[in-house]
Amino acid sequence: MTNISRSPFTDEIEQAEPPCKFSMSHFTTFKGDGDPEWHLKHYRRAMVLYRNNDALMCKILATTLQAEAQDWFHTLPPRSIRSFDDLSLVFTNEYSSYRTIKKKSNHLFPVKKNPKESLHDYVKRLKAEKAKIVGCDDSIANATF
């Protein structure tokens, strides 16, 4: 009972049993030095069959935390996490400084050809930058070129 009282999860989450035939698959670990939104996105995708089981979502996410992230998890106040949404919120807030800044199409405008750079190398560099932008507007990429 001592472990339950120290757990950041409510008693309801802590005492919930995994569903029959649940088997732990391999999850990407989070050590506290990456993008928390990326980790949650991949975690949700891996747990898609269990997304309606809040207790399981919480417990399994906790097992994906390693190193400093695991230490952080153990500093959460007892019984403060009532749902997966609660856990996701405190998790992303804690590691928000590691979020990846999503680039937009206008990020390409400062990419200029250096005077001694070959056209081939410039195009290669421009394409590499364009690949980092999700849903890049081709008309902006063309205007940049």
76, 47: one domain: yes
67, 128: one domain: no
7, 60: one domain: yes
34, 16: one domain: yes
Residue range(s) defining the domain that contains residue 28 = 2-98
How far apart (Å, rounded) are the C-alpha atoms in residues 126 and 122?
Answer: 6
Cα Rg of the chain (Å, integer): 21
74, 117: one domain: no
pLDDT in tens, 23-45: 887 888 999 998 999 999 999 99
pLDDT in tens, 108-131: 777 778 889 888 988 888 788 777
119, 84: one domain: no
Q: Please tell me the total count of domains within the chain.
A: 2
31, 50: one domain: yes
State the pTM of this model.
Answer: 0.66
